[in-house]
């Protein structure tokens, strides 16, 4: 499992950046480091246990990508 940043988590859970920040602030184990850049696999496991896994297991190991529409 790779590490994810806050924006990746917001996209994965389908919520806004301010919403994911609010969710994260409620978790004492994560709110200690305000200057965090990425979440480790151990921290992701904690998040997924609390909020559920937002994507399939195989997607967790791959980088988060943005899809574009081509017309």
State the DSSP string of 10-70.
HHHHT--HHHHHHHHHT-HHHHT-TT---B-HHHHHHHHHHH---S-HHHHTS--------
pLDDT tens for the chain, 71 residues: list them.
667 888 988 888 889 999 988 988 888 877 666 666 788 888 888 888 888 887 654 444 444 444 555 55
Give a yes or no: residue 22 inside a domain.
Answer: yes
CB atoms within 10 A of CB 54: 15
| Number of structural domains found in the chain | 1
Range of the domain at 14: 6-60
Let me know if residue 66 belongs to a domain.
no
Q: Is residue 36 part of a domain?
A: yes
Q: What is the pTM of this model?
A: 0.64
Burial class (CB in 10 A: 0-12, 13-18, 19+), 49: exposed
Question: Is residue 65 included in any domain, yes or no?
Answer: no
Backbone angles phi, psi at 30, to 5 degrees: -105, -25
């Amino acid at each position: 499992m790779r590490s994810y940043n806050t924006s990746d988590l917001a996209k994965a859970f389908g919520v806004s950046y301010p919403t994911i920040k609010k969710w994260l602030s409620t978790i004492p184990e994560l709110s200690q480091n305000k200057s965090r850049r990425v979440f480790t696999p151990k921290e992701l496991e904690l998040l997924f246990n609390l909020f559920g896994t937002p994507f399939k297991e195989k997607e967790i190991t791959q980088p988060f990508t943005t899809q574009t529409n081509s017309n």
